[in-house]
Structure 1
């Protein structure tokens, strides 16, 4: 079957791919990931296209480390109840932190949209808004002596 070029990766698709990688368990390869993405998004991307996106690349590397590390844990003895309690405690803390960060991110995105709209109303361009900040002179301030 001849396939056309896949549609460009947008932020929504990247979000889905990163979420898939966050929940990945078991063996992870680019080919397996591409197959799952194709079933989810009905689009088949190449490894190169996925690897070019920083968020996808980082999520893939982290998932790969996580699932590789998980394999070595399985070969060790069963964790004690104290270890399980510590792991559960850490998991709860990380879940709470993750929820908080998601909430904070949503608020920041809302603030950004507001600022973008207000800048648009004032006729400010993206280029103007992206102008780098002035360089800060970090030398000691000279104090004038008054006579």
Structure 2
């Protein structure tokens, strides 16, 4: 029987994967991530599908690096559930900040590349920074 293809990753599903990685605790592998996303969405994606999206691949690598050596035990956790939940939320936010800072750096590098290539083709930074034209909302189709 032919295996059916998983639906494309939408922006919403990519955000779900990134949020899942930001809050990840314990050992992290592609298989575990795939299983976690399957439990949430009911869709089984492949490692290769996730790896095709740079934001997912980068977030996975960053989170894996951050978790390296920390998944073997959770000793020293506070007893108060509210404090523990707050600390977990802080960890999620820290992971998200780290991922977004890395993503921002990649976008800045991409912008520099684009600006350089545009300049080589005669497009100036001033031309690139020109405001977009205003949409013609008052006009209706066919009316002159």
* Aligned residues of 2:6 and 2:43 also touching (Cα < 8 A): yes
- 1:36 paired to 2:43: no
- 1:4 paired to 2:11: no
Unaligned runs of 5+ in 2: 77-86, 101-117, 126-144
The alignment yields a C-alpha RMSD, in angstroms, of 3.4
Question: Which residue pairs with 2:138 in the alignment?
Answer: none
* Cα deviation code 1:38-65 (max 9, x no counterpart): 1111111100010010110011001101
- 1:60 paired to 2:72: no
* Cα deviation code 1:8-30 (max 9, x no counterpart): 11111000000000000101110
Give runs of aligned pairs for residues 85-104 of structure 1, distance below 5 A: none
Question: Which residue pairs with 2:19 in the alignment?
Answer: 19
Aligned to 2:56, the other structure's residue is in SS state helix
Aligned to 1:70, the other structure's residue is in SS state coil
Instruction: Compare the two structures and name the one with the higher helix fraction.
Output: 1
Indicate the structure (1 or 2) with the bigger Cα radius of gyration.
1
Separation in structure 2 between the aligned mates of residue 12 and residue 29 of structure 1, nearest angstrom: 22
How far 1:36 sits from its partner (Å)? 0.5
TM-score normalised to the size of structure 2? 0.51
Question: Which residue pairs with 2:46 in the alignment?
Answer: 46
Aligned to 2:4, the other structure's residue is in SS state coil
Separation in structure 1 between the aligned mates of residue 2 and residue 30 of structure 2, nearest angstrom: 21
* Aligned residues of 2:27 and 2:71 also touching (Cα < 8 A): no
TM-score normalised to the size of structure 1? 0.50
